[in-house]
Chain A
Amino acid sequence: MGNYLEDANKKKVIFRNNLLFFSKKYACLIGILIILIIFFVAIPGFANISNLISILRLISVFTILGMGEAIVMSMRGVDLSIGTMAGFCSYLCATLLASGYSISMSLFITLIIGILIGFFNAIIISWLDINALVVTLGTMFILTSIAMIMSNGGYSIYLFGMTSAKINIFLNSGKYLIVGIFPISVIVMILVSIVSYSLMQLTIIGRYFYSIGENVKAAYLSGIKVKPFFGLSFLISGFFAAIAGILLVLGSGVGTPPGGPGYLLEALAIATLSTAIFGEGEINIKGVFVGAIFIGALSNALVLIGIDPGYEFLFKGLIILIGMALGTLFKKESK
């Protein structure tokens, strides 16, 4: 009899602990799901097919930028130039298309330029040992100025006004929907996510990245070449920014020279939120994916409600703060 009671008590305690653990770990995820459901039900026009397509376009850009930022931040680096890079690459791609280059050529050049900008960052930050935050701040403004000079003071390039066959093919492929709802950019997003997930979780490179982020001296002493790996992350973020830039042109048909940080806030928010979403306390690619969906839906919902843009800044700032505070909390617990 006594044994039976003890067992029941033990089971109760274990169950309670499990419940506590589960609720702590997935509280953030469940909260996000509830907010998304509220958006679906309560906001008129949110669940509309055309709106969903535009959200998917936004999310795909956010996801790719967030992946780039997360990979850099997993090693305690940061890339402030990522939003401006995406804007710059979208402008570059539109310029190349408008001046008569073939589609494959202009995409290729844009990607190469993205990697080169990343390489510039990587050389200065990793090999010369200068704080990533300050260097990428400089890069950001240099890129803004180059785009301004290229565009004679900020004039956008409108591709859809042009009658070239190539540009029409390009714009039509942007409009094409798979199964009637998924634009091409979603396919690109999924590809990029799979590549980043396998890089960070399945290959040894990802282990190296995390170990460099956790303790760079230990990583160095255990034989990892820290400089090339840290530099590689900036190449990756430059490459991803270029992809996001191309998707921006593909979606809108307009090449706008970047006038500021661009999607930097969103990329940082997604990357920092990923530490909290699955309760891991560390930057992880799954979290980036969910975070991008959340931030994309939130941006769209705030526009649909017609709220003052001030609230958008306010909400996103608060989300970064809360996400980061939760992430640090989880990290402390897991240690």
Chain B
Amino acid sequence: MKFRVNKKQIIDYIIRYGVLVIFIIMVLFFALQSQSFVKPSNWMNILKHSVPISLISLGLTFSMLVGGLDMSIGAIYSFSAVICSGLIVAGMPIILAIISTIIVGLFFGLFNGFAAVILKIPAFIATLSTMFIIIGLQSLYTHGERIDINSDTYFSFIGRGYLGRFLAFSVIILLLSICFAYFFTKNIKTGIYIYATGFNLNAAIIAGISTNLIKIIAFIICGGFCALAGIIQASNLSGASASSAGISFILNSVVAVFIGASMFRKGNLSIIGTIIGSLFVAVLTNGLAFLEISHLSIQGIKGLILIIVLILNSIGKKKFKYHIGQMPV
């Protein structure tokens, strides 16, 4: 019997499972290097730490589905941590503080959507300027001082509480958010329209979808997820630091989203992929910390992984000679 090898299929498999193989090799490597890496408590710890990254990456997935890389995610995340802590310190009831923080996040999302869609500014420039505006607001609000909240209140339960002995509460919030995002994009009309707008804008317009509104909604959802991540982080640290995560936090989420994109059907974005990507980033961060590699080289390693994943993504795609990696219009 002749054994035929389909070259295209092999390339497809390499792209789809290459990152997964790297992930498994990475876990094995860290496990061999450090005994405490494989302990179950460390895994729960990794999950707990991955919550903000995963939430922000979920938000970024929405904005990238409609074709706009939201650069303001890191800034919205830190600013909502600051706002939430500030409101609680000022004596607002915790539920109200959480709700108003999420409203602030949604508002920034709306602002991004307005600038990108209505004013027709290229999305990354619009969100970049939002990022700098938010960094400015944060600096004005904190005056360079850390905001501390009393860690005894039940606010700290959100980020640090455990249900039973093992299951962290923040992980449950993450699971709920994943379920929301998944069912929103699969079962609810608006969510399906977001996919439709992202994959083929002209077809979506012809099909009668008001794409502008859908794009704005995607940006708003992105802002909301970032605000939620900020609230959890504020509870985690019982307070918020004055310095903004700004541009350095974008890297984590972008890496997560693109790793996720590489796993499913030729580089399409998906909720599940993003979550796997965020786990990848969280494990990488944790493992490198165990190897005592300094914080700043971790960023470089992530940058390198980002570029490698992008190259992997681009291998199988059909290309024309005039495809040169420009920004979308």
Beyond contacts A145-B299, A325-B115: 16 other A-B pairs, Cβ-Cβ < 8 A, are A133-B69, A133-B327, A138-B304, A141-B302, A142-B304, A145-B296, A153-B296, A213-B326, A230-B326, A260-B246, A264-B247, A268-B125, A314-B133, A317-B136, A321-B129, A328-B121
Q: For the complex, what is the distance from the CA of A321 to the CA of B111, rounded to whole Å?
A: 11
A-B interface, 4 closest residue pairs, ranked by CB to CB distance from nearest: A145-B300, A310-B139, A314-B136, A313-B136
List 29 A-B residue pairs with CB atoms under 8 Å apart, sorted by A's residue number. Answer: A75-B326, A76-B326, A76-B329, A124-B307, A128-B314, A128-B325, A129-B314, A129-B319, A129-B325, A130-B313, A135-B307, A137-B250, A137-B251, A138-B251, A148-B296, A149-B297, A219-B322, A230-B325, A264-B247, A265-B132, A310-B137, A310-B138, A312-B136, A314-B136, A317-B130, A320-B125, A320-B128, A328-B121, A332-B120
Among A132, A145, A265, A312, contact of B327 (Cβ-Cβ < 8 Å): A132
Instruction: Let me know if A137 and B325 touch, CB within 8 A.
Output: no
Instruction: Please name the residue on chain B nearest to A125 by beta carbon.
Output: B325
Q: Which residues of A contact B296 (CB under 8 A)?
A: 144-145, 148-149, 153-154
Question: Given A148-B297, A261-B247, A314-B137: A138 and B306 within 8 A (CB)?
Answer: yes
Q: For the complex, what is the distance from the CA of A133 to the CA of B63, rounded to whole Å?
A: 15
Instruction: Let me know if B132 and A134 touch, CB within 8 A.
Output: no
Instruction: Let me know if B321 and A220 touch, CB within 8 A.
Output: yes
Nearest-Cβ distance from residue A57 to partner chain B, whole angstroms: 23
Nearest-Cβ distance from residue B303 to partner chain A, whole angstroms: 4
Among B130, B254, B313, B327, contact of A78 (Cβ-Cβ < 8 Å): B327
**Which A residues from 276 to 335 make CB contacts under 8 A with B?**
308-318, 320-321, 324-325, 328, 332
Instruction: Let me know if A226 and B125 touch, CB within 8 A.
Output: no
Q: For the complex, what is the distance from the CA of A277 to the CA of B6, rounded to whole Å?
A: 56
Contact with B along A150-174 (1 / 0, CB 8 A): 0001100000000000000000000
Q: For the complex, what is the distance from the CA of A202 to the CA of B220, rounded to whole Å?
A: 45
B119 at the A/B interface (Cβ < 8 Å)? yes
Q: For the complex, what is the distance from the CA of A252 to the CA of B166, rounded to whole Å?
A: 55
Instruction: Let me know if B306 and A137 touch, CB within 8 A.
Output: yes
Q: For the complex, what is the distance from the CA of A321 to the CA of B319, rounded to whole Å?
A: 34
Q: For the complex, what is the distance from the CA of A131 to the CA of B159, rounded to whole Å?
A: 36
B33 at the A/B interface (Cβ < 8 Å)? no
Determine the main DSSP class of A at the interface with B.
Answer: helix
Q: Which residues of B contact A320 (CB under 8 A)?
A: 125, 128-129, 132
Instruction: Let me know if A216 and B322 touch, CB within 8 A.
Output: yes
**Which A residues from 181 to 214 make CB contacts under 8 A with B?**
212-213
Q: Which residues of A contact B314 (CB under 8 A)?
A: 128-130
Q: For the complex, what is the distance from the CA of A264 to the CA of B329, rounded to whole Å?
A: 21
Instruction: Let me know if B137 and A230 touch, CB within 8 A.
Output: no
B97 at the A/B interface (Cβ < 8 Å)? no
Instruction: Please name the residue on chain B nearest to A231 by beta carbon.
Output: B324
A12 at the A/B interface (Cβ < 8 Å)? no
A177 at the A/B interface (Cβ < 8 Å)? no
B153 at the A/B interface (Cβ < 8 Å)? no
A227 at the A/B interface (Cβ < 8 Å)? yes
Q: For the complex, what is the distance from the CA of A216 to the CA of B258, rounded to whole Å?
A: 25
A8 at the A/B interface (Cβ < 8 Å)? no
Nearest-Cβ distance from residue A318 to partner chain B, whole angstroms: 6
Contact with A along B130-161 (1 / 0, CB 8 A): 11110111111001000000000000000000
Among A132, A139, A148, contact of B325 (Cβ-Cβ < 8 Å): A132
Q: For the complex, what is the distance from the CA of A140 to the CA of B306, rounded to whole Å?
A: 12
Q: Report the number of A-B residue pairs with Cβ-Cβ less than 8 Å.
A: 183
Nearest-Cβ distance from residue B313 to partner chain A, whole angstroms: 8
Instruction: Please name the residue on chain A nearest to B322 by beta carbon.
Output: A220
Instruction: Let me know if A130 and B124 touch, CB within 8 A.
Output: no
Among B133, B143, B310, B313, contact of A317 (Cβ-Cβ < 8 Å): B133
Q: Which residues of B contact A260 (CB under 8 A)?
A: 246-248
A47 at the A/B interface (Cβ < 8 Å)? no
Question: Given A133-B124, A134-B254, A139-B303: A316 and B132 within 8 A (CB)?
Answer: yes
Instruction: Let me know if B119 and A308 touch, CB within 8 A.
Output: no
Contact with B along A70-97 (1 / 0, CB 8 A): 0000011110000000000000000000
Instruction: Let me know if A144 and B323 touch, CB within 8 A.
Output: no
Contact with B along A100-113 (1 / 0, CB 8 A): 00000000000000
Q: Which residues of A contact B310 (CB under 8 A)?
A: 124, 128, 130-131, 134-135, 138
Q: Which residues of B contact A264 (CB under 8 A)?
A: 247
Q: For the complex, what is the distance from the CA of A76 to the CA of B297, rounded to whole Å?
A: 31
Q: Which residues of A contact B319 (CB under 8 A)?
A: 129
**Which B residues from 219 to 267 make CB contacts under 8 A with A?**
246-248, 250-251, 254, 258
Nearest-Cβ distance from residue A48 to partner chain B, whole angstroms: 27
A60 at the A/B interface (Cβ < 8 Å)? no
Q: For the complex, what is the distance from the CA of A323 to the CA of B129, rounded to whole Å?
A: 11
Question: Given A219-B322, A314-B136: A140 and B303 within 8 A (CB)?
Answer: yes
Question: Given A135-B310, A142-B300: A308 and B140 within 8 A (CB)?
Answer: yes
Q: Which residues of B contact A324 (CB under 8 A)?
A: 119, 121-122, 125-126, 129
**Which B residues from 279 to 312 make CB contacts under 8 A with A?**
294, 296-304, 306-307, 310-311
Instruction: Let me know if A314 and B326 touch, CB within 8 A.
Output: no
Instruction: Please name the residue on chain A nearest to B124 by beta carbon.
Output: A133
Q: Which residues of B contact A130 (CB under 8 A)?
A: 310-311, 313-314, 325
Instruction: Let me know if A76 and B327 touch, CB within 8 A.
Output: yes
A217 at the A/B interface (Cβ < 8 Å)? yes
Q: Which residues of B contact A311 (CB under 8 A)?
A: 136, 140
Q: For the complex, what is the distance from the CA of A141 to the CA of B246, rounded to whole Å?
A: 13
